[in-house]
Structure 1
Amino acid sequence: MTTSVQRLTVLGATGSIGMSTLDVAERHPDRFEIFALTAHRQIDALFEQCLRFSPRFAVLGDDNAAGLLRSRLREAGSSVEVLAGSRALAEVAEHPEVDVVMAAIVGAAGLQPALAAARAGKKVLLANKEALVLSGRLFMDAVAASGALLLPIDSEHNAVFQALPADYRRDPDACGVRRILLTASGGPFRSAKLAELDAVTPEQACAHPNWVMGRKISVDSATMMNKGLEVIEAHWLFGAPAERIDVVVHPQSVIHSMVEYADGSVLAQLGNPDMRTPIAHALAWPERIEAGVRSLDLFEIARLTFERPDFERFPCLALAYRALREGGAAAAVLNAANEEAVAAFLDRGLAFRRIADVIAATLERAHGLSVDSLDEVLATDERAREIAREEIRNCR
């Protein structure tokens, strides 16, 4: 069994994935040491985490927030060094003393530090699906060039990873994989009448029936864009084309995903809907450690059900498949438009069902964009956001 301590940077420490990561790591102080914690602007939460875990560095999004945190930590007698800005995020991700990076910053903002960790050859625990959606080829090339170890944290991709043979990445074609089946809960509106979706509020969209998540990802689950982004992520992680990645609506969220083989076998990974399971799996891989998750009681669950996804109800899922098939910059445009549309919805400036309309219109208008370098990815992201904001104004 491994006995050396792994130094861990948690990008997005105050979010749900970050907090779950710290919960697992705290259960194994002989295995994990917290090197750096980052947050956008949640000063109070990051302050408490710094006192509890004593990282070497804490990073916030801007200088003002960092100054406030620095003063509070100094008054509390803490020696944590506080940094600010996007460059600091990359620095704590690529730092030579770091072994493991949890990439859990939501949205496009998480791309640069996650890519820095990959380029530095770290063990990268990828919870930021947008890194692959925005720059799949660029990111995977960085992993291959540096020898980084990339482990998926999304429960679905982690389940697929567990159900695939160990040598899959070395020779996918020789492993007899027929298709990948990504399960989806269907979110809070799986069985709602379509007419009812016109009046959906942010509070309703964020009330996920099975998972505790942030507001943005909760809305993505309600539109099933979250699953669409996961389809694109699965393409890059596992080298599977769109036609070999299917979505299965599974309301109980017990089977996290499945892999079907050429001989007809289907391997599934099951567990209670608790993100500490995939986090613990990736943190300790290839070993297994206690995650604090209760055992799965199949007798209590009693039955598991499955449905085909309804593309009329969930047009965002269809748009994600379209972007994957189009290739090029389409997935990056899709992601940027979705982030802008979801933000507008959460601010009550866009109706729930118009989210898909904004994304579709942005995809139609965004032409001649490229994602062959980080600069091009960022430029494409910004241009797509400009178009999406114009479309949002047109919807009002």
Structure 2
Amino acid sequence: MFRRLGTLAMASLLGGAALSAAASTLGDAAAQLGAGQWTVLNRSGDGAGFDYKLIESCQPSGCNDTILNYADKGQWNPNTREIEFLGKGHMAEHKHISYSEASNRWVTRPRPGWACGVSANCYGMIHGYEHSAMNPASGDMYARLASSGTVYKWTRATQSWSQLPNGPSLEVAIAIEYFPEMGGLLMVGTRNGTGEVHLYRESTGNWTQLAGGLGMGPYHNVASYNPVHKVVVFGGGNGSTQLYKVDSSGKVGAIAAAPVGVGIMQSVFTVDPASGRHLLFGSGGGFYEYDVAGNRWSTLSSAGVPLFRTNDSNRIWMRVAVPVSTHGVVAFLSEEGANTRVLLYRHAASVAAPADTTPPAAPSGLTIR
């Protein structure tokens, strides 16, 4: 069932007043969803700010791309109740956009000093890929430059960027993911034709290699932290269905092969924060879930899934997933031209974590677009 969200009452004044968990547009929308249901959270023209102008990425010759291109994941900060996404169009500008549950507004944050503005021959991250991750405890975010071992850290408290010690120099487009139980950042990808897994520990400031010699696609790899099973599922890449999992001890092992190719532009790969099932939306329109405990894939019905593009051979192009742990749903940033929108999906019934009653923090230091 695809349920469209109507106007929901806001129980507080925007611009700083605290909201209870059940009195926000996002919270109310999520609460209305049953298992397998979708709804629209924001759409172009509704005043929330998520329109094509927000996501377009420009260069001197024009604005011909968006920051959602060649990307599939964003970040949720459970403390401040914010979505963060950093992306980039082809040879075009970087943008860091953010959503606040408190105000139900999308804004652009200041562009990082290391990132490209509107300029020609601009590389940097090249695209968003899976080149960003977040420490959910602090809200600090990480971003990796393409074809390099260069990773920057955005400290949420000061909203400033700093460079980490140099990491491994892997392929052009790989994946990073924060692993709370390991206290650091994973980097997974390929070098010299085989896959590697590296960990940056916050406590030591050092990179260490956890595994090598793994069979993965040459680039466009993925990595997804599972908050229920405390593992990261990773791998895939161009032409690959091979995935692995790493646990909090650093043990790496192969899992059942995916039913379709997994990787940027092949799929959107994410996790349901309530049930711990990984979700896979294929470029051909297939919908699948992976059960970590049973190490098995299941094919789900794709009928009526509004995430899929209807007039494109690649059904998941310009789709970015954000697991929203606070409300047990997944948000999807979706480019649809004049109908650009944010969708919410609840995969599992009420098996989520206990209700969060901490009010979201008021946004600060933002520029409304």
Higher relative contact order (CA 8 A, sep 6+): 2
Greater Rg over alpha carbons, structure:
1
Higher helix share: 1
Length-normalised TM-score, structure 1: 0.29
